[in-house]
A and B are shown apart, each in its own frame.
Chain A
Amino acid sequence: MKHLLVIAILVVASTLLVHTGLTAIGLLPEQASAQAVTIDNLLDVHFWLISFLFSLIVVTLLYSLVVFRRKKGETGEGVHIEGNTKLEIFWTMIPLFAVVFLAYIGAQSLGETRRIDPTALEVDVTSGQWYWRFEYPEYGVTTDKLYLPVDRQTLLRMTSMDVIHSFWVPEFRVKQDLVPGQTTELRITPTLAGEYKVLCAELCGASHAYMEAKVYVVTQEEFDAWIIEQQSTVVLDPVQRGRQLANQYCVTCHSVDGSQKIGPSWLGLAGSEVPLEDGTTIPADTEYLRLSIVNPNLHIVEGYNANVMPAFANLLEQTEVEDLVAYIESLK
């Protein structure tokens, strides 16, 4: 009995210690959405359970190894105990109830994070290698930054133009893949104004690590003001519009200063003779630049591979392609 008592005290002490450690080292980022609260509560239940089970096993093992170790002069075998069926049933049934309980509160929490608010703000999210695009269909606004009003549910309808990507803002906790040919949904209720980042959480090729976009959680008034500003800002210069598009979709792979990236640099490209993979050359005129955007596999530049750049024919409007070409032609 004395051993059991000592072990019990040590297990309790170790559980408290491990749990304190787990919560103190900052495993979780800031809590910035209503969904995050539900998920963190669930995580905390698990942290307690992990701390307890870890302590139970490790403390009992170490205690046994130290206290029951072989004393000087002992040479015999240990006590011959082959097992105890009642005990085995005990530690099968208790965990069974525990995991069913955990699964139950898990399912409850899942339901909680998926709760539908019919007045949610709708945002269409499109992803591709390697950009994020956010469209507010109610307002006719399209941007590369996600603005969200605080304390109001946002419904993200998401799809991908090429490979699988994943929408993940660590502070919001929830995550959802964007699958080509399919629309997936994610509901977020931001609760803390601030600046965050959406990170792609599904390996999506060479520049996956750099596929991120800014997220701003702002008050409803700031949000409305931002929408009006977006709606009223009409850029008249095609080169200027092209630069904005390029910053959104292109500069991850194409530099504008001659430096080496995944694709050829745009500096001095327009008007030059481009050497192709098949040994010929082609003049980089307006038509070549346009074709290279809408159908990148048509002409492969020497030293680069096919199938790296996605086709932008479905993503960009005709006028947007023309803006991009105008921007490229301005880079002498």
Chain B
Amino acid sequence: MKKFFSLGLIRGLWWEILGTAFGIGFVTLVRLLMGLPAWKAEPAVVFGALLGALFFLYGVGSLDGWLKWAAGEETPEHVDDSHLGWRRYFGASLDHKVIGIQYLALSLILMSVGGTFALIFRTELAEVQLQFLTLNQYNTLMSLHGIVMIVSILLGIAAFMNYLVPMLIGARDMAFPRLNSFSFWIAVPAGLILLSSLFLGGFDTGWTGYPPLSARAPLGMQMFFLGVSLAGFSSILGGLNIIVSIVRLRAKGMAPFKMPIFVWAALATSLISLTATQLIGLSFQMVMLQRLFGMGFFDPAKGGNPVLFQHLFWFYSHPAVYVFVLPGLGIISELLPVFVRKPLFGYKWVAMSSIGIALVGFLVWAHHMFTSGMAEYLRVPFMYSTLLVAIPTGVKFFSWVATCSCWPGSSSSCSAASPVRPTPPSRPTCIYTTRITSSAISMTPCMAVISSRSSPPSITGIPR
């Protein structure tokens, strides 16, 4: 029992409850001192939830390293906590593989919660009219399903990138292990705050949270805005960490075009996470402030413009779909060559197409707003930029087809041992990828292979 209560996660949850209570008490006290009616739910709960998240991070031990430095104490670069066994998965570990597993577990938990919401409201739809939900419950479940699934996919992506990228580039860990731990742990209170909206009146706006509807929705709306804003920190800091790791920590001799193809996908993904996530956070915080302090950002009666929100929102939320898809395409580009026993066709083109999709993806957001009431002529340039995304995407698909097929394809068999084709000079291909399939869990021996092969010809052979 004592062991259970000393787990970082459990301590974090206690601290979160404490922080929430403290925040609610603080706002109530300030209102009392200002001579206002003491209880007003919205500011108290929002501030409580925000403080709860900070207290959680303290309780779980995610801030320990920084607090020690602030107090002038030295800490080792990397703390080995492997003696803790399974318990380190429940605390603020600095090991990228532990954090990768933590991300994956949280992602799967949230995904099953979000999926359950969908099952509930789809069951409700089995017959016309409402059977066991109210209109507001239905919309709340539908809206939460959307955002919980999105957050869970973001965490799942982070899981794969955290686990694989350092090993694929031959690094011991990520560039900033403490930031890495922080990026994961802030997602836990973010998820809790998001789900708490179920019990605080819910919200009926869908995952897009467009004002003015979101400016008048129940209190649960604020928990949605706050939860997504906090989860955004996870994306931004995680993206930063991946980019710095890829730029600075590659094994000796691994030039950019010798990186495994998944690393290129992770780089493109992280560029988006690092630079676009701020916009959704900003748009959500503007509605939060509009609700809390009566600011008129999106309120036409106060000179605001509801369409502005949609621009800010989609500037992230469109590129976000590439955050979801690019790592997946990267995994396909990685696995396909292993199973067809040939190198990936056009490695450089596939690598550059990931970056191309990420960059063009920044210019297409307003195609979600063709009917929104924005200036009409804008539909045309945004249609052109949107269609352009098809080109790098096509490069990927065509390259996969060429990887699989026996281009130029006059022989009956694709095997190198075929009598029609003489055996080409043997070059080691797919060394690390074959290792992935043969030992999916432990990649360390594979890295030993890469780092021990320091002579140039074999390095060229590894990532094609």
A interface list, Cβ under 8 A from B: 1-4, 56-57, 60-61, 63-65, 68, 70-71, 74-85, 87-88, 91-92, 95-96, 99-100, 102-103, 106-107, 110, 114, 162-164, 166, 175-177, 179-182, 184, 201-208, 262, 305, 307-308
From A2, A100, A181, contact of B305 by CB (8 A): A181
User: Looking across the interface, which residue of chain B has its beta carbon closest to that of A176?
Assistant: B371
Bound complex: CA A127 to CA B417 (Å): 72
Residues of B within 8 A of A203 (CB): 139, 204-206, 208, 210, 213
Give, as a whole number of angstroms, the nearest-CB distance from A62 to chain B: 9
Residue B421 is within 8 A (CB to CB) of chain A in the complex? yes
Known contacts A78-B414, A79-B421, A107-B380; A64/B405 CB under 8 A: yes
From B372, B373, B400, B407, contact of A81 by CB (8 A): B407
From A76, A166, A206, contact of B371 by CB (8 A): A166
User: Looking across the interface, which residue of chain A has its beta carbon closest to that of B209?
Assistant: A203
A79–B414 CB distance below 8 A: yes
From A91, A103, A163, A202, contact of B394 by CB (8 A): A91
> Interface size (B, Cβ < 8 Å)?
66
Residues of B within 8 A of A1 (CB): 410
3 shortest interchain CB distances as A-B pairs = A181-B300, A78-B342, A83-B346
B interface list, Cβ under 8 A from A: 135-136, 139, 201, 204-206, 208, 210, 212-213, 216-218, 300-301, 305-307, 340-343, 345-349, 371-373, 376, 379-380, 383-384, 387-388, 390-391, 394-395, 397-402, 404-407, 409-410, 413-417, 421, 423-424, 426-427, 429, 464
B391–A92 CB distance below 8 A: yes
A76–B398 CB distance below 8 A: no
User: Looking across the interface, which residue of chain A has its beta carbon closest to that of B425?
Assistant: A80
A74–B394 CB distance below 8 A: no
Give, as a whole number of angstroms, the nearest-CB distance from A293 to chain B: 18
Known contacts A91-B394, A92-B391; A80/B427 CB under 8 A: yes
Residues of A within 8 A of B383 (CB): 103, 106-107, 110
Known contacts A1-B410, A70-B415, A87-B402; A110/B379 CB under 8 A: yes
From B398, B406, B429, contact of A77 by CB (8 A): B429
User: Looking across the interface, which residue of chain B has its beta carbon closest to that of A99?
Assistant: B387
From A64, A80, A166, A180, contact of B401 by CB (8 A): A64
A79–B342 CB distance below 8 A: yes
User: Looking across the interface, which residue of chain A has its beta carbon closest to that of B349?
Assistant: A88
Residues of A within 8 A of B204 (CB): 203, 205-206, 208
Bound complex: CA A4 to CA B373 (Å): 49
